[in-house]
Amino acid sequence: MNKKRIAIAIPASVVSDTPHLREKTSKIGFIGRAAAIFRIEEIIVYSDNLHVNQSVDMDLVATLLAYMETPQYLRKKLFRLRPELQYAGILPPLRTRHHPLNRRAKDLKLGEHREGITLPTSKEGTLIDIGVEQPALLPKEKLIANKRVTVKVVSTKLPRVFVELVDRTQITDYWGYLVTAEKQPLGQIITQRGFDLIIATSRLGTPLKGVAEEIGERWQKAKSILVAFGSPSQGLHEIVRHEGLKLEEMADFTVNMIPLQGTETVRTEEALMATLAIFNMYFPL
């Protein structure tokens, strides 16, 4: 099955206007929740200031978003203790289908998908922690330890649960987002990734009402869609201008999603929620 793949691009400086790590963590939690609510497949964190080393902010944003997306039962094994996670406890749970609450092997269902982490191999194959009391067995395959995998339960006859590997992109349910930290600027990302439809959000853009029908036609045909957002201090026009580019030449549509806004500025996380909510009504996300 070929699903429509929708990605969002957010700047590394999305937390630059927030001084304390606790508030930064809360803001990133809001972004992660918005992405999951509207079934975003990928979050691209891009470099939006070519004159500043943004590696610290980029790592913080990407790490916290990836931590949120990881099922709770895998987090301690996949994430070592690090300063960025000091306030991870305030991140809201995603409650997506790949974050199951069931922790008992006897309640697993045949055909159920789970995220897991590979454990040391046995004579029979690879043991995988899928968040229940005992590891499941992936028979006849030897995988390296501590690798995250997606599996399907193929036998629930206790005492041993058997699973098989699956491609997460083939799962019909929404299965979380991938996080991509790109140290390249937005223009290079757009050029290299080859999205079928690129929508830039900007206060200087055309109100959605004026281009909704045209976007809808392109949306239906597109398999990969990118929706890009600016930073707290710079809009997308300014950001790509530093690359010597024009936004209108890069994006298929530049859209003002909040016309007649009542505030002088709209924060990135606010624009994200507003934009995705409106797109969810106009177009099938």
CA distance 65 to 114: 19
**C-alpha angle 135/32/59, rounded to 5°?**
85
Q: Decide if 228 contacts 199 (C-beta within 8 A).
A: yes
Quick: pLDDT tens for 8-36. Answer: 999 999 998 899 999 999 999 999 999 99
**Residue 24: half-sphere exposure toward Cβ, Cα within 13 Å:** 25
- Model-level pTM greater than 0.85? yes
Which residue segments constitute the domains of the chain, with CATH numbers given? 5-95+176-282 (3.40.1280.10), 105-168 (2.40.50.140)
CA distance 71 to 85: 15
Q: Say which residues have a Cβ less than 8 Å from residue 109's Cβ, sequence separation at least 6.
A: 153, 156
* Token pair in block for residue 104: 């008992």
CB burial readout 116-147, b (16+ within 10 A) else e: bbbbeeeeebbbbbbbbeebbbbeeeebeeee
Q: Provide the pLDDT for residue 2.
A: 55
Quick: pLDDT tens for 91-129. Answer: 999 999 999 999 999 999 999 999 999 998 788 899 999
Q: Which parts of the chain have pLDDT scores under 50?
A: 1
